[in-house]
Amino acid sequence: MSGMEGKVALVTGAAGGIGAAVVRSLGERGAAVAAVDRDAERLADVVDKLRADGLQAAAFPADVTSSAEVEAVVDRVEYTLGPLDFLVNAAGVLRLSEARALTDEDWAVTFAVNTTGVFFVSRAVVNRMIGRGGGGALVTVASNAAGTARVEMAAYAASKAAATMFTKCLGLEVAKEGIRCNLVAPGSTETPMLSSMWHDESGPRGTIDGHPDAYRVGIPLGKIARPEDVADAVAFLLSDQAAHITMHDLTVDGGATLGV
């Protein structure tokens, strides 16, 4: 695969399932990728495997909930790899609880990573893109839960809805600078985040079949997404093939939200 040779990308949440798949996908297309995550040990493992496969990837441990750390790591990335062309906001956390039982910390941590982190990183990268005369693309990995109510996912869904609208508003404002801002909204995907929601071996089947008691339909395509399915959608929206697409929300959920 090719098409991104000479481009530089920054991916947050790069030690996680979708984030790591995005780093690999962009690397396979020829981009030099800055992999950012607060879990330095897992991040190093991900990057070591990519580099062993001949891909251009470098680890940059940082916490996206810290504005100072974000500004510093973006400076470090651009000094090391060059001016950024692409950003992927893939860092995310999930705290499951009924809305009225959420703790202050559950709410604060969820929004700090899923929403404020998107703001901090997007602001840092886009300001530098504009400072160079504009041009570039970013994708925020949101969720199909941003537009569909889910039991025990109030904090997560609300944080992803906020990140979705932030990304679209940013896209509207910077379109004149030639910067495209899009979203990918995954549904159930084979990641540690999904498996953390399963209580026994029936978990995968239940996800595919749905849970009527939780008002949740299943997945019409009859399978759970692979991280690579989401990464391919991200790569498309960053690529020149999507040159006239901005402020778009691409749902990748096998039909779980029935196309709504």
**CB-CB neighbours of 105 under 10 Å:** 10
Largest CA distance in the chain: 53
Q: How many CA atoms lie within 13 A of 105 on its CB side?
A: 0
From 156, 163, 229, 231, active-site residue: 156
Active site residue 156: yes
- Say if CB 244 and CB 256 are below 8 A apart: no
Report, in this order, helix, strand and coil percent for the chain, each rounded to 5. 50, 20, 35
Nearest Cα to 246, choosing from 186, 183, 185? 183
Nearest Cα to 249, choosing from 147, 157, 135, 176? 147
3-state SS class at 198: coil
Q: What is the CA radius of gyration of the chain?
A: 18
Token readout for 73 is: 């790591």
Residues carrying an active site annotation: 156
